[in-house]
Structure 1
Amino acid sequence: MMGSKKRKWSTISILLIALVMVLSACTKSTPATTDTASNTTQTSESTKDTGKFPKALSNQGAAIQGGTLNYGLVSDTPFEGILNPVFYSGSPDAEVLQFFYPSLFNTDASFNINDGGAATLSFSEDNKTATVKIDDKLNWSDGNPVTAEDYAFAFQVIADPNYDGVRYDSTFTNIVGIADYHAGKAKTISGIKVVNDKELQITFISADPSIKAGLWSYPLEKKVFGDIPVAKMSSSDPVRKNPIGYGPFKIKSMVTGESVAFEANKDYFHGVPKLDGVNLKVVNPNVVVESLAAGEVDMVGLPTSRYDEKTLPKNIELLGRQELSYSYMGFKLGKWDKAKGENVMNPDAKMANKSLRQAMGYALNNKQVGEQLYHGLRTPATSLIVPAFADYYDPSIQGYTYDPEKAKKLLDDAGYVDKDGDGFREDPKGNKLVINFASMSGDSIAEPLAQFYIQNWKDIGLNVQLLDGRLQEFNSFYDRIEKDDPDIDVFAGAWGTGSDVNPAGLYGRTAQFNYSRYTSDENDKLLKEGVSEKAFDNAYRKDVYKQWQELMVTDAPVIPTLYRYELFAINKRVKNYDITYGSKFSPDALAGIELTADKPVTQ
């Protein structure tokens, strides 16, 4: 989806371009000249944009001809290398994809699709049929035109019963005929019609306001993938070894997991990029500041944990803004039932007791974490709808503010008491209670952060242990989460929301990204109402999402911990880059970047 939800590193922010990458929970996980959140009268700590950092580079020097940008993908592990929007699920791969496989669509300050991208979107009078027109000049990097058939093919692959990705969810099941296709009862999707080489029509069962921001926005080249069995596509060479896109750059060479050399796509539909190319390499977060100072990289998403204005090198400029993402604690409540295609709760799960989950939320001192570990660039999160969605975020919701005494009372009342005097509470049946906590590795604060939360829980009498006694590497962490590893009880994750406020792709009954596996009839009802025809009335939709936010606080299948302020560290030789939501940013913003020196400025 145009607005894709993305799972994220706990210690890294993705550049604005990646926000239009779509994970099908569907990217959208944004503000015009100022952040959307800043255009409201809300003044709570969570909604204020500090304004401390500019959003556009100040370099006004004369640009050189061409040049190569050195881009740092900040990670303590290799990127997975699933380099196709239909199949990837992690932010590291999204950072690679942004250079050669952008969204078809551009969005405005309200995150709605406008006419600035490689395709346009229009609707029928009843809002049930969408027409997508692809630019006549848009070609794949192999020279073939990007066609309406390619766009339709992406829907067919995602809806195929043998598809092994995570995109097929409620945003797709609303398309007429797609359920029969998914079930093998039809050979085509009746609601998708190729009008001509560059025009496609999609008919929906019901009008859905999320389509304006969250329509799936990536074609899949049928000439390349058409003869590959769907079950084998994600591991095929066009995904792993020889990816093809249509963006401002194309892959020249690659060492999977480590580096990618891009060259300018001279056939790019908006004109030849200003740069000759981009060299991307993985940079460990613990040495990213040193790499910036030495001029080894020109541009990175700077982990906020590495921000220290006293020690940052003088050869960079920092851009910053509120991020469309949040960190959270998730509780494992069930499993993904592949046969049913839905999440199924287990009433006997260790974390099934709502009071236990609520108590663990009240035990977390997120304010201290944000101030001390993230230099004030993260603030306590109160809701699963981020403040940037100013029309829907409800500042009156307090969420789980730090209150250890309330946490203890919740546990006492629920029967979680220390019966043997060892300092830790037993469960209501008197059994030993050990809670396994999965947390990701990352930069130097990953371990202290995990141990801080473990101490918070110990302070209320809960015996929480780090899974396997150590932090989990990014890829293995999510592999175990997705497969519902029974050893995991609670996990620390993070989501990039995309540009579509609709949370169904993350918390719906049929959403594979719903890693807690939480379901309820009330959740089903509210998520359905949030994308109903009535929800085209913004006041109605706002009320629905207010109720949903309150439900998620009460049921606590996941507890948001921190909202994020993201930073971009950029060498002073870089020119013409702006991260303001909804301004001149578009899927081809990277094409306009210029350099004012042959070599990076050094400290």
Structure 2
Amino acid sequence: MNKKYWSRLLFGMGSSLVLVLAACGGGEDAGDESKDEDGGDSAKVEPDEEGIYNYEDFSKSVSNTGEPSGTGTLKVGYTSDTPFEGTLNWAFYQGAPDAKMIEHFDEAVFSMNEDFQYTQDGLLGYELNEDDNTVTFTLQEDAKWHDGEPVTIEDYVASYEVIGHPDYDGVRGSNEGFTLIEGYEEYQSGDADEISGIEVKDDKTAVFHYKELAPSLTAGGFWAYLFPEHHYEGVEVKDMSASDQTRKNPIGIGPYKVKSITSGEAIVLEKFEDYWRGEPGMDGIEIKVIPPSSVADAVEKGDIDVALSFPTDQFPDVSEIDGVEWLGQIDGAYTYIGFKLGEWDEDKNEVNYKPDEMKMGDKELRRAMWHAVDNDAVGKKFYKGLRWEGTSLITPYHKDWHKDDLETPKFDPEKAKQILADAGYEDKDGDGFVETPDGEELVIKFASMSGGDTAEPLANYYIQSWKDVGLNVEKTNGRLIEFNSFYDMLKNDDKEVDVYMGAWGVGSDVDPSGFYGRKALFNYPRYASEENDDLLKKGNSQEALDTEYRKSVYDEWQELMVEEIPVFPTMYRAYVTPVNERVKNWSEEYGYNEDTLLYKIGVDEE
């Protein structure tokens, strides 16, 4: 199955809408042997002499390829220590668990190539006109919703009308793919009853009028999903996210439709015979949530065919499971340490950045905390090289945009202590911990999520590293926090969170404004500045259609983030996926390939 790279989502330790590097170690010839005729790689992936793996040594696709039989059931395990929330619509979901459920029954209307650009291979085609700043969207095939209703272009327009509605309670609609549409902001504020820049021509065609055509539009800026307006007939926008239509009876346009839902635990899907691309390759799919502690056992026993979000730290111990192919790929995500620097202003619908009032407002304190941790050692010790030290907030996933010569704070505890001392943080009462420059006690509340064998020792490592340089850091509430509760605390700017460890899943477009923009609800650090605003605006301006200009802007932005440190990256990461050898055509390659789309996945009965 192609990874859903058109989405940006909240990943396991952090952020969802789905989309290189010489990684640590890895033998020069590892993975080069035993290529079969179908392009698969059945060779066992070996670590280097220090036990460090390189994700580039893994195959990206299974060796079992060919036409699916049309029968059988694929058993999928989603690895999580928490139930999925059950907000099963692309317009309303917030967490990765829900996104993983949705992507199996509803699909994007666009496809992407390996350079993360929309192609014309999806249900919806598009044509840009730079002379008048319009985009014409056209339904290229007849398609049906799972309830049998035909898809029309109104279903695409409805996505914008729901997300932009003043009563919309979700987190989307703040990026340029929405705000650049003429009349969108007036509609969003309630000053207009419709989006004036959207013109429906007929059942298959709509013209969107933009203030300008930004480079992000064709790299994930166009909203990629339909909205079944007829399915929500009679439901007010403010009630949609909590409605039965979202929680109990969701529909989509994918090759499989929802048959049953066990709240928070499992979804059973069955073949949708009227799928627009053709007959699906199986009878159905069963997806269930499996705790990290038991997922490897479920793979080994054959209880599941594929384990999504498999804990990378477990791979070295279970890499030799019989009957399983291990696929690997660089992840469009990074883990980071975030600092609370303000709060969300509900009235203005934007960040209220107020560092002078916040415990972590001193960037020298934040810089010292970066110097205090050894992320390179963390990647090797906890993840055997399948995660590695992060530097920039634009990751190697976007290899042409990642600034690999960025000068960032390196592990140096003594320098961390000196920075604290120079900034006035001194241990005045002899308890081993520094006080603030004003002589006040400094106790830093650190929030981190539960999940997986490494969660607790990893959180403890960071806490101890900061204590080693004289900072009194304690776990928020004295424990690790469950996924949904963790993000509720960040979203609500809980006063018990000063610093947190999260992750952000980057989108197909390199534009970082979805997390660092002033009006981005996902901007959990609550950081904003005029310089940041200016660079983010320039990076997605019409002038930035010039790639070299855009690259220079984002180089400058990466340098600004190292100077300001609203967050600092801890690790980039790869993911591994165990796939039972009975599964056909599963792939983790990026870029459109019809042979590996979901409807082409199959299972052998034997």
Q: TM-score, normalised by structure 2?
A: 0.91
Aligned counterpart, 2:359: 350
Aligned to 1:10: 13
Where structure 1 has 5 or more consecutive residues not aligned to the other structure, the ranges are: 15-22, 30-36, 599-603
Q: List per-residue Cα deviations over 1:148-171 (Å, max 9, x = no partner).
A: 111111111111111110002132
Counterparts in 2 of 1:185 and 1:62: CA distance versus 1, 3 Å: closer
* Distance of 2:328 and 2:23 partners within structure 1: 19
Q: In 2 relative to 1, CA 460–241 (structure 1 residues): closer, same or farther, beyond 3 Å?
A: same
Q: Give the alignment of 1:61-76 within 5 angstroms.
A: 64-76=69-81
- For the 8 Å contact 1:425–1:462, the answer to whether it is kept is yes
Within a 5 Å distance, the mapping from 1:539-558 to structure 2 comes to 539-558=548-567
2:341 matches 1:333: yes
Q: Does the 8 Å CA contact 1:176/1:203 hold for their aligned counterparts?
A: yes
In structure 1, the residue matched to 2:245 is 238
Q: Which amino acid aligns with 1:287?
A: S
Distance in 1 between residues matched to 2:417 and 2:598, nearest whole Å: 51
- 1-structure distance, mates of 2:110, 2:413: 46
Per the alignment, do residues 145 and 61 of structure 1 end up closer, same or farther by CA in structure 2, a change over 3 Å counting? closer
Q: Which moved more, 1:46-55 or 1:512-521?
A: 46-55
Q: Does the Cα contact within 8 Å between 2:312 and 2:383 map onto a contact in 1?
A: yes
Alpha carbons of structure 1 residues 320 and 425: separation in structure 2 relative to 1, 3 Å: same
Q: How does 1:415-564 map to 2 (within 5 A)?
A: 415-564=424-573
Equivalent position SS for 2:570: strand
Aligned residue type for 1:109:
E
1:209–1:536 contact (8 Å) kept in structure 2:
yes
**SS of equivalent to 1:291:** helix
User: What is the identity, as a one-letter code, of the residue corresponding to 1:7?
Assistant: L
Aligned residue in 1 for 2:183: 177
Kindly indicate whether the alpha-carbon contact (under 8 Å) linking 2:23 and 2:54 is maintained by their aligned counterparts in 1: no
The answer on 1:208 being equivalent to 2:235 is no
**Could you tell me whether the CA contact under 8 Å between 1:127 and 1:207 is conserved in 2?**
no
3-state DSSP of counterpart to 1:114: coil
Deviation at 1:46, TM superposition (A): 11
SS at match of 2:213: coil
Q: Distance in 2 between matches of 1:417 and 1:435?
A: 15
Q: Aligned partners of 1:465 and 1:45: how far apart in 2?
A: 31
Relative to structure 1, the CA distance from residue 65 to residue 112 in structure 2 (aligned partners, 3 Å threshold; closer, same or farther) is closer
| Bigger mean CA offset, 488-497 vs 135-144 | 135-144
Cα pair 1:382 1:399 within 8 Å, conserved: yes
Structure 1 residues 584 and 63: alpha-carbon distance in aligned structure 2, compared to 1, 3 A threshold:
closer
- The RMSD of aligned alpha carbons is 2.0
Instruction: Kindly provide the amino acid, as one letter, of the partner of residue 158 in structure 2.
Output: F
Distance in 1, Cα, partners of 2:287 & 2:11: 19
Structure 2 residue runs without a partner (length 5+): 27-52
> Alpha-carbon deviations, 1:244-284, whole Å to 9, x = none?
10011100011010001000111111011101100011111
Q: Say yes or no: does 1:397 pair with 2:400.
A: no
Aligned AA (2:538): E
Q: Give 1:427's aligned amino acid.
A: T
What's the secondary structure of 2:56's corresponding residue?
coil
Residues 40-89 of structure 1: CA distance to partner in whole angstroms, max 9, x if unpaired?
xxx57599964221011012588544100000010011100000000001
Query: Does 2:90 align with 1:82?
Result: no
Tell whether 2:190 aligns with 1:190.
Answer: no
Give the alignment partner of residue 361 of structure 1, picking from 356, 363, 370: 370
| CA shift for structure 1 position 581 | 1.1
Determine if contact 2:54/2:385 at 8 Å carries over to the other structure: no
What is residue 34 of structure 1 aligned with on the other side? none
- Provide Cα deviations, 1:406-439, integer angstroms capped at 9, x if missing partner: 2112111111111111110101111110000010
The counterpart of 1:597, out of the listed 574, 596, 605, is 605
Which string of whole-angstrom CA distances, capped at 9 and with x for unpartnered residues, describes residues 381-406 of structure 1? 10111112122111001333212222
Helix, strand or coil at the partner of 2:357:
coil
Within a 5 Å distance, the mapping from 1:243-254 to structure 2 comes to 243-254=250-261
Tell me the secondary structure at the aligned position of residue 566 of structure 1: strand
Quickly say closer, same or farther: Cα 1:182–1:66, change in 2 above 3 A: same
Alignment match, 1:148? 153
Quote the sequence identity (%): 44
TM superposition score normalised by structure 1: 0.92
1:571 and 2:580 are equivalent in the alignment: yes
- Name the aligned partner's letter for residue 403 of structure 2: D
